Amino acid sequence: MEFTASAIAGFLKGEVEGQSDIKVSTIARIEEGFEGALSFLANPKYEQYIYTTGSSVVLVSRDFKPSSQVAATLIRVDDPYLAFASLLEMVQQSKPSKKGIHSTAVIGEESEIGEDVYIGPYVCIGDGVKIGEGCYLGAHTTVGDGTTIGGGTRIYAGVNIYHDCIIGDNCTIHSGCVIGADGFGFAPQSESEFAKIPQVGNVILEDSVEIGANACIDRATIGSTIIHRGVKIDNLVQIAHNVEVGENSVMAGQTGVAGSTKIGRNCMFGGQVGITGHVTVADGTKVGAQAGIAGNIKRPDTVLLGSPAIDYKDFMKSFAIFRQLPRIRADVDSLTRAGKKADNQ
């Protein structure tokens, strides 16, 4: 599909600077641009490429002031990154969507399948399942008995959703995810044996949740593990039993959350963050990569780094000292030798 710069500007409520009738049919990174492609400039670190890019059209902020001539046609918008995301969404929605039930799919008794769904090859749907209108279930996906999946939800190939889980509207679950496996619950019986505690709860994903590939969200021991509306979870994240994640929080890859932890709204976690069990994390908390949270975070909008995690300002001060430890050690050794030499004289 081809779009003119003026058509794109109209969709984005932007302003064209250059050839309004120039056409683009694909997208490219600004540093790898070529004729017929559209790019965007959001990070000032990439400004150098706007003067050399081969892209025909570039989205820029309204207040962008070039320091030299730009060959590409510019479209000025309020937020280039969000505008670019809107274009990608438009392109995605313009693609024809698959519909129908593949002949190899297996659907259990008393299951309800909404209209305009796609159920791919070798999908296995249990008994009493409800699948909403416009859902997509990729090949080899399994859905356990009694599970409910809301309308417009997209589930990619190889996802396993255990019994009695509840998936909201317009969710996205990527390949390899396991939703509703047993939580890690065992009671010690002796020094060498553990008894399994039955996990009789479920998992609830509210509307517009996205779960990355190979993430695992465990079912509750009793009650529900709840991922609230708008949460975005990256690949290889582990959410343990009875965890609750507040609305619009985001987690980068390999984050792990131990059981019964309650995470507030609008929180952000970098990659490989670890959170111990049975703690509460306040709304708006931001945690840097590889940090470890070992206790309650009570103050909203706290920014934390390190393991165990501390206020980022204190962490940066501590790190400044830590980097000097080899020199400090050398100074201490030198003073110790000088002291010993003085004692021997």
Q: List residues with catalytic annotation.
A: 241
CA gap 37, 48 in Å, rounded: 18
CA dihedral (83, 85, 91, 96) in degrees, to 10, reads -140
CA gap 190, 31 in Å, rounded: 62
How big is the chain, counted in residues? 345
Looking at this protein, which amino acid is placed at residue 94?
S
The residue written with tokens 């694909």 in the block is: 26
The residue written with tokens 């708008």 in the block is: 230
Query: CB count, 10 Å around CB of 265?
Result: 18
Q: Are 261 and 279 in contact (CB under 8 A)?
A: yes
The secondary structure of the chain in percent helix, strand, coil, rounded to multiples of 5, reads 20, 30, 50
Q: How far is CA 123 from the centre of its chain?
A: 26
Tokens for 287, please give them. 């945690």
Q: Are 309 and 318 in contact (CB under 8 A)?
A: no
Looking at this protein, which amino acid is placed at residue 95?
K
DSSP reduced 3-state for 341: helix
Tokens for 232, please give them. 């975005």
Backbone φ and ψ for 335, nearest 5 degrees, come out as -65, -35
CA gap 191, 104 in Å, rounded: 49
